[in-house]
A and B are shown apart, each in its own frame.
Chain A
């Protein structure tokens, strides 16, 4: 089943599409640190921010979900954790804690039950991607593109948790934290722009990996495999029918075709 973008935000001055809600403290876009190309979202000491879906709806995924973000810590001087919570269904939570005391990323299965994922350091951008399913109540956790925790448990529901939303929170005394290139996906396709096409190689239909990217900032939007029977593919795009994208089709390791300036159907 495909995953569709429900909220994508690079916090950039020209491509802001999502928006966010400050739940506590001080949260603002910043040019102090950023991935690419210009801004990030700065979460100051003892602050919190949450993201809902772009359309404001609270619609549970049917099964699959994923979120991804880049995070940068100014220092590691705090003894309190920076933590992220995603609530896909209302009865399970994907929770990641970044422990400044020992430089460990951990996932939680209960209030005080944590398991190591990987080490992290301040002063550099870290890419986190988490993919999960409701049917399995499990998740896969990637750090900088490497699968570090495979098929591990989610956390039991927390009373007052945010339904179908994700939150980022710094503790008291935390250093400034910056997040960038935030993605939230579910398997609900309603309201998503798409583009379709056919892949052929030397006159024969081909099953290639096909990806869509937003042209303004290079953000990966969707990926699929074209049909080996008729070559067809459908990819999600972002925003409205004027937002330009480019598509790539991977023939093999050293041959990739690209189509530029694609907009939604």
Chain B
């Protein structure tokens, strides 16, 4: 098992958002978590150390933002 640890912010502030991790090679869902509202940390446990990408989704309240994606992540 390996871990992806990223931080989710909105306008510079930590937020609680749904974050999905996907394996780059086949796109299959590897794990998901809600980021910590206080720190923004999104720690996701995945099965392999293969390359992954994550997608963080905006919530339903406040201003509307597009989802954001970070690629080329190697879990450790």
Please tell me if the beta carbons of A246 and B23 are within 8 angstroms of each other in the complex.
no
Please tell me if the beta carbons of A36 and B29 are within 8 angstroms of each other in the complex.
yes
A218 and B71 in contact, given A127-B28, A145-B48 (Cβ under 8 angstroms) = no
> Count of chain B residues with Cβ under 8 Å from any Cβ of A?
25
Enumerate chain A residues within 8 angstroms of B22, measured Cβ to Cβ.
Answer: 213, 218, 220
A220 and B55 in contact, given A248-B69, A253-B24 (Cβ under 8 angstroms) = no
Please tell me if the beta carbons of B69 and A256 are within 8 angstroms of each other in the complex.
yes
Smallest Cβ distance from A216 to chain B, in angstroms?
Answer: 9
**A50 located at the interface, meaning its Cβ lies under 8 Å from any Cβ of chain B in the complex:** no
Smallest Cβ distance from B15 to chain A, in angstroms?
Answer: 15
**A254 located at the interface, meaning its Cβ lies under 8 Å from any Cβ of chain B in the complex:** yes
Enumerate chain B residues within 8 angstroms of A129, measured Cβ to Cβ.
Answer: 26, 28
**B62 located at the interface, meaning its Cβ lies under 8 Å from any Cβ of chain A in the complex:** no
**A116 located at the interface, meaning its Cβ lies under 8 Å from any Cβ of chain B in the complex:** no
For chain A, residues 231 to 265, give those with C-beta under 8 angstroms from any C-beta of chain B: 246, 248, 250, 253-260
Please tell me if the beta carbons of B69 and A257 are within 8 angstroms of each other in the complex.
yes
A127 and B47 in contact, given A36-B32, A211-B27, A258-B66 (Cβ under 8 angstroms) = yes
Tell me which of A36, A129, A218 has the highest count of chain B C-beta atoms within 10 A of its own C-beta.
A218
Please tell me if the beta carbons of A144 and B47 are within 8 angstroms of each other in the complex.
yes
Please tell me if the beta carbons of B72 and A260 are within 8 angstroms of each other in the complex.
no
Enumerate chain A residues within 8 angstroms of B69, measured Cβ to Cβ.
Answer: 248, 256-258
One of B24, B25, B28, B57 near A215 (C-beta < 8 A): B57
**A223 located at the interface, meaning its Cβ lies under 8 Å from any Cβ of chain B in the complex:** yes
Please tell me if the beta carbons of A255 and B71 are within 8 angstroms of each other in the complex.
yes
**B58 located at the interface, meaning its Cβ lies under 8 Å from any Cβ of chain A in the complex:** yes
Smallest Cβ distance from A168 to chain B, in angstroms?
Answer: 19
Smallest Cβ distance from A73 to chain B, in angstroms?
Answer: 16
For chain B, residues 44 to 60, give those with C-beta under 8 angstroms from any C-beta of chain A: 47-48, 50-51, 53, 55, 57-58
Known: A36-B31, A223-B27. 12 other contacts (CB 8 A): A36-B32, A129-B28, A211-B27, A218-B29, A220-B22, A220-B26, A220-B27, A250-B71, A253-B51, A254-B71, A258-B68, A260-B58
19 A-B contact pairs sorted by A residue (CB < 8 Å): A37-B32, A127-B28, A129-B26, A142-B26, A145-B50, A213-B20, A215-B57, A217-B32, A218-B20, A219-B29, A220-B22, A220-B26, A220-B29, A248-B53, A248-B55, A253-B72, A257-B69, A258-B66, A258-B68
Interface of B with A (CB < 8 Å)? 20, 22-29, 31-32, 47-48, 50-51, 53, 55, 57-58, 66-69, 71-72
Interface of A with B (CB < 8 Å)? 36-37, 68, 125, 127, 129, 142, 144-145, 181, 211, 213, 215, 217-220, 223, 246, 248, 250, 253-260
